[in-house]
Structure formats: structure tokens, C-alpha cells
Amino acid sequence: MTALRPLVLTIVLLVSATAATLAAERSVDKRAIDFAVNNGLAAMYHEIGHLFIDQYELPVLGARTEDAADTIATLLLLAEETPQADAVLRDTVDGWLLDNPRLDRGGFERWEFYGRYLLDIQRAYGIVCLMVGKDFDKYRDVARTVSMDTERAHECATDYDLAERSLRKVLIGHEKVGARAGPGVVVTYDEAGGSLRDVAEYVRASTLLEAAAKRIEDGFMLDRVVKFRALSCDEANAFYVEDLNEIQFCYEYAAYFYDLKAKALQSAAEPGDKGDSKN
């Protein structure tokens, strides 16, 4: 999957510099900014997975579409094989664990079992399984941190091999060869007001959308023009809107994960209070 490799390195280097600059200018925590941007990057990859499934009519057998998009996103990140991509993967695992509703409610809601998505904690373990499946020695610390059974962690090599081989096969014919021109990606940022104004600036300055768009344009042949749009959605989420050929990244998503990390860091720093931090 060498054609999938350059994207994350470009993004995270820009994000790291941006976070340092903005954190120095304002009373914000660079660690929380990095965490929010890394989880935002994972969300973009997830939606790119939906984009691929739609435009390339990829088969989804034995799994929900959301599971397949998670797998595509994780494989795209693992293909980078860089420390920066590892940080994105690790923060995404932490993000799902910190976001696990059971932590706040003390139990699950019935809808969580019949919904379109796996439970947040299952999504975290799915990522970890692909990580240790690709390289057990490199990622065994992640599996240990989330208390994954060692026997299961070794079994994940089969899961990773099947997933990686399957994605590589279905993307044959969709990768751009040479200088062939094709439909591109249009990036736009909506204005945001109130408490989201600074968040919108962080998202824009991180150039996540531009870097993701460039990699798709450079590496893949799209069937039609796609729009990457950052906006306020009144919810912490990201979407692939098939009818609009548009991936929407919500400013609220970045704000939510910033607050989630900031809260965990604060709890960990309080004497005698371990909080719910996973770090």
C-alpha cells in the first residue's frame, strides 16, 4: 500500500507547528490541541473510507459500513509507518476510550447495541487489534495499556493480513498512475462564531482538509468532484454526505475532543484524583 503513505506525515508536521504557535499565543494546552487534531484526522480518514466505499462501490461483506470505514481509516494510518502516524493512532484509541459513554453513565443504553456503530470501546479495541496485527513488538504496549489478552493480540495478525490484503485488492484500478487528470477535491471553511471561533481557526490553520484533499487528488482517480467542508453542525461529528459528494468536518468535533483531553489532563494533575484519563 505504498501509494497510501505520504498523507499523514505532511499533515502532522503542519499540525505540530500550528499547535505550538497557537498554544504559545493563547491560554490553551498544546497537548489537547494535538489530541483534538489527531482525532479529527482519524475522523477525516473514516469519512474518506465512506467516500471510497461509495465512489468505488467497494464490497462490504460480513460487517457494517461503519466498521469497514473504521478499518480503512486505520489501514491508511498504519501504512504511513511514521512516529507521527503512530501518535494519531494512539490518540484515536485514547479518544474512543475517553469518549466511552459507559464511563459517565455506569452502564450502556439499549440503542447502543442495535445502532449502526460498534460501541466506542469496541472501536478502540478494533484499532488496537490492527496495530498489533501489523507489528506486535511495536504496539504491544498499546495492547497492554488497554488490557487486551495476549493470545487475542497475537491472533490479530490474521485480522490485519486479511484486512490489508482486501483493501489493497479492491483499490487496484483506482490509484492514479502518472499525471492523469481527474475530478478533484474542493476545500472550504465556513465561518464560526462564539466559542467555536478559535476552534475554527485551529482547524483551518492545521490544513487537515487541504492535505487530505491533495493526497486523494495525487493518489486516486475519483469518479466525481468531492468537497471537503469544515463547518458548525450543532453536534460533534463528521459526515460523508453522498448526495452532495461532500465530507463535512464539524468544528464541534474538534472542540469536543479538546475538552475531553483537557479534562483528562486536569484530572490526572489533581493530587489524589486519578480521574478518567487513559494516558
Q: CA 47, CA 28: separation in Å to the nearest integer?
A: 28
Region 166-193 average pLDDT: 86
Any domain includes 240: no
As a residue count, the chain comes to 279
Residue 180 within any structural domain of the chain: no
Q: Is the pLDDT of residue 159 over 50?
A: yes
Least confident of 109-118, 180-189, 246-255: 109-118
Q: Which residues contact 206 (CB under 8 A, 6 or more apart)?
A: 11, 14, 15, 18, 19, 37, 40
Q: Summarize the confidence of residues 89-109 as an average pLDDT.
A: 75
From the list 73, 96, 94, the residue with the least C-alpha distance to 8 is 73
Q: Is residue 15 part of a domain?
A: yes
Q: Out of 24-38, 94-108, 161-175, 237-251, pick the least confident.
A: 94-108
* Residue 37 confidence (pLDDT) above 50: yes
The residue-averaged pLDDT of 195-203 equals 90
> What percent of the chain has pLDDT above 70?
77
Residue-number span of the structural domain to which 148 is assigned = 2-175
Q: Which residues contact 95 (CB under 8 A, 6 or more apart)?
A: 35, 38, 39, 42, 257, 260
Task: Measure Cα distances from 58 to 34, 220, 225, 226, 229 in Å.
Answer: 32, 14, 18, 17, 24
Per the domain annotation, does 34 fall within a domain?
yes
**125 falls within a domain:** yes
pLDDT value for 104: 54
pLDDT computed for residue 52 by the predictor:
93
Task: Please tell me the distance from the alpha carbon of residue 204 to that of residue 113, in angstroms, as a whole number.
Answer: 36
pLDDT in tens, 111-140: 555 556 677 888 999 999 999 999 999 999
Of residues 213 and 67, more confidently modeled? 67
Phi, psi of 137 (to 5 degrees): -65, -40
Specify the pLDDT at position 179: 63
Handedness of CA 191, 36, 118, 165 (dihedral sign): positive
| DSSP three-state, residue 191 | coil
Q: What percent of the chain has pLDDT over 90?
A: 50
**Span 222-247, mean pLDDT?**
93
242, part of any domain: no
DSSP category for residue 237: -
pTM of the full structure: 0.81
Domain count, the chain: 1
Report if residue 274 sits inside a domain.
no
